[in-house]
């Protein structure tokens, strides 16, 4: 990898990468061509570090539905900042085995708590609707809980007057990202606890720094 003089501001860190000799890997945000772009970087000089970073970048592109340029910069096709969502995508990408091929997650999960099959439908213009299918309990409550989980995980807005719909502030479709977040939405409390624990270790940027 070439020498990077300005890689931007670090917004997330995996302090010990379990798949590559416990090196630390950071996610950085910068402006490129007038738009927010993201970079994955390690200061490690170990042989193979470049390949490891490239594997995380490839996985993020798939899991987050992001575009990757020839310099391995990542951006969302909508050109907007999705800081919280991109951090989640980064953390999930780092968990993947480097040899595994990342695949976009379906917009459908089995909600173990209720036994319901949860499907998220894209309604266009960045609006997504959570629906439940099959036999299960607490249908309405689980739908609104999971919609709330998506909002908390990715700073998505509620569609006012509904309990089952959310909308991306950029008004663009983000299917891959919704699929990725949906996996965690039923356990949103555990995920947020994990984030808080990380933040208290000084790993995460303070919320006040999440502009955009």
Using CB under 5 A, pick the residue from 7, 54, 78, 192 that binds Zn ion.
78
Using CB under 5 A, pick the residue from 7, 54, 163, 170 that binds Zn ion.
170
| Crossing angle (nearest 10°) for helices 188-200 and 139-154 | 30
Give 73 or 80: the residue with its C-beta nearer to Zn ion.
80
Closest CA to 210 of 164, 172, 166, 169: 169
Long-range (24+ apart) CB contacts under 8 A made by 166-169 are 166/127, 166/128, 166/130, 167/125, 167/126, 167/127, 167/128, 168/78, 168/82, 168/126, 169/80, 169/126
Give 170 or 203: the residue with its C-beta nearer to Zn ion.
170
Nearest distance from C-beta of residue 92 to Zn ion, angstroms: 18
Nearest distance from C-beta of residue 169 to Zn ion, angstroms: 8
List alpha helices for the chain, DSSP H.
49-64, 83-95, 139-154, 175-184, 188-200
The arrangement of strands across the sheet holding 165-167 comes to 108-111, 116-124, 127-133, 165-167, 157-158
Nearest distance from C-beta of residue 196 to Zn ion, angstroms: 25
* Polymer length of the chain: 212
Give 15 or 77: the residue with its C-beta nearer to Zn ion.
77
Instruction: Establish if 172 lies at the interface with Zn ion (CB under 5 A).
Output: yes
Closest CA to 128 of 95, 90, 162, 80: 162
Of the ranges 1-9, 99-107, 131-139, 171-179, which one interacts with Zn ion (CB under 5 A)?
171-179
Using CB under 5 A, pick the residue from 80, 87, 88, 105 that binds Zn ion.
80
Give 26 or 126: the residue with its C-beta nearer to Zn ion.
126
Give 50 or 169: the residue with its C-beta nearer to Zn ion.
169
| Crossing angle (nearest 10°) for helices 83-95 and 139-154 | 100
Which residues, 6+ apart, have CB-to-CB distance to 138 below 8 Å?
113, 114
Instruction: Establish if 192 lies at the interface with Zn ion (CB under 5 A).
Output: no
Of the ranges 26-34, 77-85, 86-94, 110-118, which one interacts with Zn ion (CB under 5 A)?
77-85
Give 29 or 80: the residue with its C-beta nearer to Zn ion.
80
Residues binding Zn ion: number (CB under 5 A): 4
Nearest distance from C-beta of residue 118 to Zn ion, angstroms: 22
Can you give the binding site for Zn ion, defined by CB under 5 A? 78, 80, 170, 172
């Amino acid at each position: 990898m070439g020498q990077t003089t300005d890689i931007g501001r670090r917004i997330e860190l995996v302090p010990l990468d379990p798949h590559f000799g416990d090196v630390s890997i950071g996610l950085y945000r910068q402006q490129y061509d007038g738009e927010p772009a993201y970079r994955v970087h390690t200061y490690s000089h170990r042989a193979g570090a470049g390949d490891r970073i490239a594997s995380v970048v490839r996985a993020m592109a798939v899991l987050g539905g992001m575009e990757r340029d020839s310099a391995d910069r990542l951006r969302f096709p909508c050109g907007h900042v999705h800081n919280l969502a991109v951090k989640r995508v980064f953390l999930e990408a780092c968990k993947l085995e480097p040899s595994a091929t990342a695949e976009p997650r379906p917009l459908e999960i089995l909600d173990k708590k209720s036994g319901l099959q949860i499907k998220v439908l894209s309604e266009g213009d960045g609006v997504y609707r959570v629906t439940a299918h099959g036999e299960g309990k607490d249908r309405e409550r689980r739908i609104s809980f999971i919609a709330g989980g998506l909002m908390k995980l990715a700073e998505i807005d509620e569609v006012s007057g509904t309990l089952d719909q959310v909308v991306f502030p950029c008004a663009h479709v983000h299917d891959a990202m919704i699929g990725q977040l949906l996996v965690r939405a039923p356990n949103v409390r555990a995920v947020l606890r994990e984030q808080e624990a990380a933040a208290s270790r000084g790993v995460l940027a303070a919320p006040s720094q999440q502009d955009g």
